[in-house]
Structure 1
Amino acid sequence: MTALDDLRKAAGVEFDFAPGAQVPLSTSGSGGTGLSQRIASVAYREGAPDKIKQPNDAAGVSKGRFTLLEPNLGEAFTRAIETRMLAEGRKPLIQSFGAEPQAVVEHALAAKRIRRQRDRRLTVIMAVFGLLFLPGVAIWLGMFQLRRSFAGSQDKRAGALGTLLLAAIAGLIVLLVLRAPVTGVLQIYLWAMLPAPVIGWFLAKQVAERTAQNLRAHWGELAGGGGSGVMVPEAVPQNPNDADAERLRIGLAKLAAEQESNLTYYAGTKGILGMGVRWGHWQLAEDLRPRDPGREIDPFRSWDVARAIGDQMRLLERGPLHTGGFKPPVITHWVVRHVGGAGEVSRPEGPDADGYSFSNIEVQRICNEQQYSSGDRHYLGVRFVLWEGELVITMMITVTVLHQTLRIEVSGYVLGPLDGFFGEKPSPDTKTVREFPKFWKQKKVELPAVDAKEAVRLAARAPLTWFPKQLDKLGGTISLPEPFGLRHTWATKPWGHRFMVDDVLRTATPVLRVAFSAAFKVLRENGVDMAPFDARAAALSGQIQDPGPKHSDEYGM
């Protein structure tokens, strides 16, 4: 068995290389497209890496050794997404309901490819004007590094003292070059040593400017929720031994498989990771007593009730009136694992695991047997993805039987819209100048996307982009919040949007009533006395119309 076979087995991917494989295309036609594209827009952005803290303070930025090699936001985000979501041996991911992780990763790879094409050209320029005139390049890079050390890396001035010191050092260097005690070819080389890198800088600036305008176009299109799918030619093996492409292709397949996992995680007051906080819950608990005196109830299992509720939930979009109403829900039998404040989660393991999911037999066993003490729990999930993925409403239903008491619990979870950071579009820098010859009039002109400092930074980083791990150490990286999932990491609370709140509150009542109706049908068929259940259900039917959400996981103890 080869290394690629081991990789396929670990990923749960059974397909093999076949000639004529198509270039993977982002599945951007399905729900949640606009939201996914807004997340993906960060891969094309400019600015400081620290901006990633704006939507979530838990994101971290690790500084490198040299500010001259520091990545911008898009470069750092692309690298972080690639290593976190595609690297071998990576930690498990949280499902991204309402978003398409594969589309985000594909855009990150596309942004990387655009920059890689730019870096190839910049590397050639650095080889011609850098290696041939290495002393001059070293002097210029040293001056820029000094300036950034005085001023900070992000568009600040060096100050009067720093500027004076830099001017003095520059003047001394020029004087030493002009007065060097050499003649002939060596003298010509010394005199060309300082201006030659300037020519290289000019060429590099033109290359960087064209790429920056291209990246801005993608940024603006995606941040507005537009754009189309992207191709990932790197994931198409050119031959059966193309290990890099095969590894990338399997990594993308693992993303899709992990997104369909039926294991999710409860994290205390954070609610269920990927589903949001628990805003309300209702429970019905009554004793199982036979309807007919002198006769026992027919035996049944918790799974029989849970399955009946799930079957009935599939009919939620139907109603007696033509009002639009519910969209078809996503019904899932979940295995929920408590993780508290853990920094990472675990995948399903053992003989009962089927790839990234638990087998149906194991789900039934958990539903019937693991209702008390330690272990995973079973929940029936009814999920609605609304507002183009901006609002994810999940109703979780669990059925337990302890002694003679049957308990049906219905809990509501909600995941709000993305932070506004992801909708920000590029805003080119401008300055006010006087018109010529009408000098009394002023107009605003757009500045180039790449200034002198940025051109130098890109040229200095270009040769090192072929060694990403070393560049991470020298320039710095972004660390993403854990446990990481593209959707819940950047979500905000929905309570500031009136219509979203209405949708959340309106969902609970019909789901609760359908759950009770389906469960009661099973109870009646098995000879259970329904009088106490009917009375309790009527009381809950009124209680659920309480107009406000609750802090259900904050018990105030």
Structure 2
Amino acid sequence: MTDGFDFSPGAQVPLSGSAGQTAATYALASAAYRDAKVETILDANNEWHESTVSTGRPWAKIFRPNLGEAFSLAVRDRMLGANRKALIQSFGTEPQVVVEHCLAAHRIRRERDNWLSAVTVLCGVLFLPGMLVWLLVFQIRASVAKRDDKRASALGTALLFGVGALAVIFLIRMPFTGFWAWYARASVVMPVVGWLWAKQICERTAKDLRDRWESMLAGGGLGAKIPEAVPGSPGETSAERLRQALARLGAEQQSNSVFYAGPKGILGMGTRWGSWQLAEDLVPREKDKEIHPFRSWDVIKAIHDQLGMLVRGPLNTGGFPTPSIRHWIVSPIGEKAKEVSRPKGTDVDAYQIKTHAIQEICNKQQFGGGERHYLGVQWTLWDGQLIITMLITVTVLHETLRIEVTGHALGPVNALFTTKPSAPTKKVQKQVRFWETREVKLPLVDTDEVVRLSVRAPFTWYPPLLNWLGGSLTLPEPFGLRHAWADQPWRHRFMADDALRAATPVLRVVHAAAIRVLEENGVDTEKFGTRSAFLSTQVQDVSPRKADVYDA
């Protein structure tokens, strides 16, 4: 492979479990089964990352996709494409599960479209004059019905009934005789028969998709079925490519390389909301002796070991769940960058930067250009809806040692992805008590939707043409499933509390571990201790702010 990823069994990176990450994962996966308008995805855009929807040809609105169709295709092509760009990690989710559900939803729709294509050919294309007339009527009706004026909507319905009445008269008083008379009758009737047949197919599929949508938000009871990803024989190259693409996606999710995009923060981890710095001179504890030589990695290693004790405490109060403690290599990119490039070479194995390279960056790349090292402690909370990350970096310049702790928070996925399906209804006046109204249930698939799906079905075999006709969904770049549609956690009181409460114990553990290393190496820690006490007091009154926005 061009990215150097080895698909042999020994090179596979084990995927993390899905425990504690189901809500955000299944909320995003549910979008593949939704039947709302594709423009509703624009409501999920956040401050830094925006999806866009292309409108296609103005005269071909009947080919427009709905949300589930556009989302599943866009995510599949972006995350599994042969020439895809690097992805941003989706902390708190399992992107492979989301992609699998996109594939499963596409497979369900493909089976429906196969049936609809057969119906369109048998009942439409073979009787093309009648189908074109009916399509013209439906197109005019759809254009009229979109107007806000209720009289226009009624006019569109009246137009449909009027054409139906003319069709009946045409059948009774046929101006032709012989073969063309029967063909004309069939051209009027067969598109209607095809519509009734197509309606049953569409309603059956719509019910299946909605059941899966509801199941996703209830905990993911229905699994994704993608038999095309399991090679049945050594010669099935397409299935093998899909399997490798899914494996590559899982391996990239475990990469220890992240990207800092200015005011957007670290992509996938959220913006930096707080920063605390301890910086003092390295002075020998005894005047006649020198400091024992040590490196930044020695301090980081001690902090790493001490952070593992965060789950312990003197009281049995629940406390911290077990965090993920990892070494991260952070690469800077432009705020408006549209793609990222992951490190390559002998120091990288399956998207993982090797330990010796991490140590070298930690000890040497502390000033000027290049990548930087951070030690991160990360919690996945609220069933994957809140990601709290505290990053620690240690630098030594001249005689000054600086320990910086920064807080990052990624909030819940947008509420658009957590809305459950509701049966379509409308209010009508009661026949007797006409001043009162009642709700009546509508079919899952209305007349216009059956026509749209039937017309689109034959074109689904060539998506580029369908996208050109009806438009498509463009995902925000650099793309990652989790951060693209994440809201700020500060509107949720308990999520905000969790993020703020994590700062104080992490800061104190970091300072205690660092000061212990300094004392072991003969450094006078009096000033470090005084500064640490000051920061401990300051962090108790912590409040979130946009620390990545430098208001100079």
Report the 3-state secondary structure (helix = DSSP H, G, I; strand = E; otherwise coil) of the residue aligned with 2:481.
Answer: coil
Residues 1:63 and 2:55 are matched in the alignment? yes
Structure 2 residue aligned with 1:469, among 434, 455, 464? 464
1:360-379 to structure 2, matched below 5 A, reads: 360-379=355-374
Is the 1:31–1:389 contact (alpha carbons within 8 Å) kept by the matching residues of 2?
yes
The offset of 1:551, in angstroms, is 2.6
Q: Which residue number in structure 2 is paired with residue 133 of structure 1?
A: 127
Residues 1:541 and 2:533 are matched in the alignment? no
Residues 1:52 and 2:46 are matched in the alignment? no
The offset of 1:474, in angstroms, is 1.6
Separation (CA, whole Å) in 1 of partners of 2:501 and 2:227: 45
Q: Which residue number in structure 1 is paired with residue 408 of structure 2?
A: 413
What residue ranges of structure 1 are gaps of 5+ in the alignment? 1-5, 17-25
Separation (CA, whole Å) in 2 of partners of 1:361 and 1:155: 69
The verdict on how the C-alpha distance between 1:296 and 1:29 changes in structure 2, with shifts beyond 3 A counting, is: closer
The verdict on how the C-alpha distance between 1:28 and 1:281 changes in structure 2, with shifts beyond 3 A counting, is: closer
1:111-260 to structure 2, matched below 5 A, reads: 111-152=105-146, 182-260=176-254
The offset of 1:405, in angstroms, is 0.5
What residue ranges of structure 2 are gaps of 5+ in the alignment? none
Separation (CA, whole Å) in 2 of partners of 1:441 and 1:202: 33
Which is further off, 541-550 or 233-242?
A: 541-550
Separation (CA, whole Å) in 2 of partners of 1:253 and 1:196: 48
Is the 1:275–1:415 contact (alpha carbons within 8 Å) kept by the matching residues of 2?
yes
Report the 3-state secondary structure (helix = DSSP H, G, I; strand = E; otherwise coil) of the residue aligned with 2:54.
Answer: strand
Q: Which residue number in structure 2 is paired with residue 3 of structure 1?
A: none
| Aligned AA (1:348) | P
1:2-401 to structure 2, matched below 5 A, reads: 6=1, 10-15=4-9, 29-56=18-45, 58-65=50-57, 66-152=60-146, 182-341=176-335, 342-401=337-396
Separation (CA, whole Å) in 1 of partners of 2:224 and 2:34: 17
Report the 3-state secondary structure (helix = DSSP H, G, I; strand = E; otherwise coil) of the residue aligned with 1:364.
Answer: helix
| Aligned AA (1:41) | S
Which is further off, 194-203 or 335-344?
A: 335-344
Q: Deviations over 1:405-438 (max 9, x none)?
A: 0100000111111221111111222235688999
Separation (CA, whole Å) in 1 of partners of 2:437 and 2:550: 62
The verdict on how the C-alpha distance between 1:434 and 1:414 changes in structure 2, with shifts beyond 3 A counting, is: closer
Separation (CA, whole Å) in 2 of partners of 1:156 and 1:97: 47
Is the 2:476–2:484 contact (alpha carbons within 8 Å) kept by the matching residues of 1?
yes
The TM-score normalised by the length of structure 2 is 0.91
Report the 3-state secondary structure (helix = DSSP H, G, I; strand = E; otherwise coil) of the residue aligned with 1:379.
Answer: strand
The offset of 1:459, in angstroms, is 0.7
| Aligned AA (1:40) | A
Separation (CA, whole Å) in 2 of partners of 1:85 and 1:189: 49
The verdict on how the C-alpha distance between 1:155 and 1:81 changes in structure 2, with shifts beyond 3 A counting, is: farther
Alignment: residue pair count: 542
Separation (CA, whole Å) in 2 of partners of 1:240 and 1:521: 58
Is the 2:96–2:246 contact (alpha carbons within 8 Å) kept by the matching residues of 1?
yes
The offset of 1:310, in angstroms, is 1.0
Separation (CA, whole Å) in 2 of partners of 1:227 and 1:452: 31
The verdict on how the C-alpha distance between 1:123 and 1:90 changes in structure 2, with shifts beyond 3 A counting, is: same
Is the 1:48–1:154 contact (alpha carbons within 8 Å) kept by the matching residues of 2?
no
Is the 2:167–2:188 contact (alpha carbons within 8 Å) kept by the matching residues of 1?
no
The verdict on how the C-alpha distance between 1:547 and 1:290 changes in structure 2, with shifts beyond 3 A counting, is: closer
The offset of 1:185, in angstroms, is 1.6
Separation (CA, whole Å) in 1 of partners of 2:157 and 2:222: 47
The offset of 1:151, in angstroms, is 4.6
Which is further off, 161-170 or 327-336?
A: 161-170
Report the 3-state secondary structure (helix = DSSP H, G, I; strand = E; otherwise coil) of the residue aligned with 2:267.
Answer: coil
Report the 3-state secondary structure (helix = DSSP H, G, I; strand = E; otherwise coil) of the residue aligned with 2:277.
Answer: strand
Is the 1:313–1:514 contact (alpha carbons within 8 Å) kept by the matching residues of 2?
yes
| Aligned AA (1:410) | V
| Aligned AA (1:142) | L
Report the 3-state secondary structure (helix = DSSP H, G, I; strand = E; otherwise coil) of the residue aligned with 2:221.
Answer: coil
Separation (CA, whole Å) in 2 of partners of 1:28 and 1:307: 26
Separation (CA, whole Å) in 1 of partners of 2:177 and 2:35: 46
Is the 1:35–1:225 contact (alpha carbons within 8 Å) kept by the matching residues of 2?
no
Report the 3-state secondary structure (helix = DSSP H, G, I; strand = E; otherwise coil) of the residue aligned with 2:403.
Answer: strand
The verdict on how the C-alpha distance between 1:153 and 1:409 changes in structure 2, with shifts beyond 3 A counting, is: farther
Q: Which residue number in structure 1 is paired with residue 526 of structure 2?
A: 531
The verdict on how the C-alpha distance between 1:112 and 1:285 changes in structure 2, with shifts beyond 3 A counting, is: same
Separation (CA, whole Å) in 1 of partners of 2:340 and 2:519: 41
